[in-house]
A = this chain, B = another copy of it.
Amino acid sequence: MTQPRLDEDLLNRPGGRLQLATPALVLDLDALDANIAAMAAWAGSQGIALRPHAKTHKCAAIGRLQMQAGAQGLCCAKLAEAEALAAAGLDRFLLTSPVVGTRKIARLLQLASRCKELMLVADDAANLRELAAAAEKAACDLDMLIDVDVGQQRTGVLDAATALTLATIIAESPRLHFKGLQGYAGQAQHIADYGERQRVSHASLSKLAAIRDALQAAGQPCPIMTGGGTGTHAIDPAAGVLTELQVGSYIVSDVEYDAVDLTGDGSRRFRNALFIYARVVSASRNGFATIDAGSKSVAMDGPAPVIAFGAPEGTTYTCSGDEFGELALPAGHNDALKPGDLVALVVPHCDPTINCFDWYHCVRGDTLVDIWPIEARGASA
Q: What is A's interface to B at a CB cutoff of 8 Å? A: 1-2, 5-6, 19, 21-24, 55, 77-78, 80, 83-84, 97-98, 100-101, 103-104, 106-107, 123-124, 126-127, 147, 149, 153-158, 162, 186, 279-285, 288, 290, 292-293, 295-297, 299-301, 319-324, 326, 338-340, 351-352, 355-358, 377-381
Contact = CB atoms under 8 A, between A and B. Distances in A.
Given A6-B103, A296-B378, 14 more contacts: A1-B358, A1-B378, A2-B84, A6-B107, A55-B323, A77-B322, A98-B281, A100-B279, A100-B339, A126-B338, A154-B290, A155-B290, A357-B378, A358-B378
Contacts of A338: 124, 126
Nearest to A156: B284
A23 B380 contact: yes
B339 A149 contact: no
B124 A380 contact: no
B124 A154 contact: no
A153 B352 contact: no
Contacts of A154: 282, 290, 320-321, 324, 326
A184 B323 CA distance: 14
B156 A352 contact: no
Total copies of this chain within the assembly: 2
Contacts of A356: 355, 378, 380
Nearest to A21: B381
A80 B378 contact: no
A77 B153 contact: no
Given A282-B156, A339-B124, A380-B292, A323 B78 contact: yes
Of A24, A103, A326, most B-chain CB atoms within 10 Å: A103
Contacts of A104: 21
Given A293-B380, A381-B21, A149 B284 contact: yes
Contacts of A147: 282
Contacts of A379: 2
27 contacts: A1-B378, A6-B103, A19-B103, A21-B80, A21-B381, A23-B380, A77-B322, A98-B339, A100-B280, A100-B339, A101-B279, A124-B284, A126-B338, A147-B282, A153-B285, A154-B326, A155-B282, A156-B282, A156-B284, A157-B284, A292-B380, A295-B299, A296-B380, A297-B380, A322-B352, A355-B356, A356-B380
